[in-house]
Amino acid sequence: MTDSIQLNSRKIIHIDMDAFYASVEQRDFPELRGKPLVVGGDPNGRGVVAAASYEVRQFGVRSAMSCYEARKLCPEVIFVRPRFEVYRAVSSDIRRIMHSLTPHVEPLSLDEAYLDVTGLSVHKGSATLMANWLRAQILEYTGLTASAGVSFNKMLAKIASDINKPNGTAIITPKEADHFISTLPIERFHGIGKATAKRLHAMGVSNGADLRRTPAAVLVQEFGKRGQFYHDIAHGRDARPVKSERTHKSVGSETTFKNNLNDDDALLTQIYEQNADAFNQMHQKQLVAHTITLKIKYSDFTQITRSHTLSTTFDSAESAHYWLDKLFLDIPRQLPIRLVGVTFSSLAPAAQLLPQLNLFE
């Protein structure tokens, strides 16, 4: 059996929650159901849309858009601030459901993940039945809907999960892949962003068929190593495995102010808040850290970082305050500050540090 045949016999599911943050808010607050809802920042400041309900998407509102622009598109929109601790808790419940099916789960974010179900005999060995079972379990235990894509590689499974959104399943089989890819706009290929799509259009490439006809050497010359990846996905080839163990290189939290700040006390208060959030994330991931980094972005959008590394680990959020104070004093203050952030790195699993197992108790 060739490698190509082996890869085409894989069964990959991509689960993508529907308007996750907004759906959680509508689940928890019945008065928000059926309403145009944005989870995000202040529409009168620099707030950004973190999630948009399907009711507001019909007005053109999308994630990453400014909240100010969202309100211009839909004056009736309701804004709520994100509750990330709640979203992380719901995401953990969803992960447990996934792991009850297979250990081969690769989370991409709080609201989406890949599963490799190759060789499973449950649900008659059908990846489609498994995907629908996952969606039903998620709905039963969380009250939220999810969409699923099923295919023989990660790229096609991810694209498929968007076809029948919301609350649907789509399948792309090996026999259907060539035709599907040929007609697919290049903007829909996972891994091709707006800037790359613009360059490809300038080369006369607008869909999968055009991309397939473009020699690999030309794509590599234009895009480097990514060019070979584009050539492969145009032919339906994506050998990337589902990685069930993802290494966390860092855990952090940052915030952008509505108005630029100059006051040291106000800045340190916000730095402590981001530190507490970052430490809580690390705690939930059962990690410990040796390094802390303070990030500052000035009003002119330039930024600076300062770090400190301990031989031991940070045993509480408060234990980092001393070092954050020192790092803050080392930050030049020639301009007002628009963003602060705190990141923990040089991470290790807490369970590996037996003398420090009680740090999170």
**If DSSP states are collapsed to H, E and C, what string results for 299-329?**
CCCCEEEEEEECCCCCCCCHHHHHHHHHHHH
Which 3 state secondary structure label does DSSP give 95? helix
Grade residue 149 by pLDDT with cuts at 50, 70 and 90. very high
- The annotation status of 16 as a binding-site residue, yes or no, is yes
Q: Which residues pair with 169 in a beta bridge?
A: 148
Class level of CATH domain 20-84: alpha beta
For residues 22-44, average pLDDT: 93
Q: Which CATH homologous superfamily contains domain 176-235?
A: 5' to 3' exonuclease, C-terminal subdomain (1.10.150.20)
Whether the CB-CB separation of 49 and 64 falls below 8 Å is answered with yes
- The annotation status of 300 as a binding-site residue, yes or no, is no
pLDDT recorded at residue 203: 93
Q: How far apart are the first and last CA of the chain?
A: 52
Grade residue 195 by pLDDT with cuts at 50, 70 and 90. confident
For residue 260, pLDDT over 50 is answered with yes
Q: Which CATH homologous superfamily contains domain 12-16+87-131+149-171?
A: Reverse transcriptase/Diguanylate cyclase domain (3.30.70.270)
How long a stretch of residues is the chain?
A: 361
Residue pointed to by tokens 């943050």: 21
Q: What is the bridge-based pairing of β-strands 49-52 and 37-40?
A: antiparallel
For residues 39-65, average pLDDT: 88
* Percentage of the chain exceeding pLDDT 90: 60
Whether the CB-CB separation of 289 and 346 falls below 8 Å is answered with yes
Residue by residue, DSSP assigns 254-302 as: EEEEEEEE--HHHHHHHHHHHHHHHHHHHHHTTEEEEEEEEEEEETTS-
| CA pair distance 39, 62, nearest whole angstrom | 11
Whether the CB-CB separation of 338 and 257 falls below 8 Å is answered with yes
Which 3 state secondary structure label does DSSP give 299? coil
- CATH code: domain 250-352 is 3.30.1490.100
Lowest mean pLDDT among 71-75, 253-257, 335-339: 253-257
- Report the b/e string of 200-210 with b at 16+ CB within 10 A: beeeebebbeb
| List of residues 6+ apart from 235 with CB closer than 8 A | 181, 212
In this structure, what token pair is assigned to residue 207?
């869909």
Three-class DSSP labels, 121-180: CHHHHCHHHHHHHHHHHHHHHHCCCEEEEEECCHHHHHHHCCCCCCCCEEECCHHHHHHH
Express each pLDDT in 301-335 by its tens digit: 888 999 999 888 898 889 899 999 999 999 988 89
For residues 194-219, average pLDDT: 92
Report cis status (omega within 30 of 0) of the bond before 103: no
How far does CA 95 lie from the centroid of its chain? 14
In the chain, where the domains are located: 12-16+87-131+149-171, 20-84, 176-235, 250-352
pLDDT recorded at residue 247: 60
Domains 12-16+87-131+149-171 and 250-352 share a fold: no
| CA pair distance 49, 67, nearest whole angstrom | 6
Amino acid in position 146: A
Q: Is the pTM of this model over 0.95?
A: no
Phi/psi at 238 (5° precision): -150, 95
| CA pair distance 297, 305, nearest whole angstrom | 9
pLDDT recorded at residue 248: 67
For residue 33, give the nearest of 41, 42, 24 by alpha carbon: 24
For residue 48, give the nearest of 59, 36, 38 by alpha carbon: 38
For residue 158, pLDDT over 50 is answered with yes
Express each pLDDT in 176-194 by its tens digit: 999 999 999 998 887 788 8
For residue 347, pLDDT over 90 is answered with no
Enumerate the active-site residues. 112
Whether the CB-CB separation of 184 and 46 falls below 8 Å is answered with no
From residue 199, how far is each of 186, 220, 222, 236 by CA, in Å?
Answer: 11, 13, 9, 21
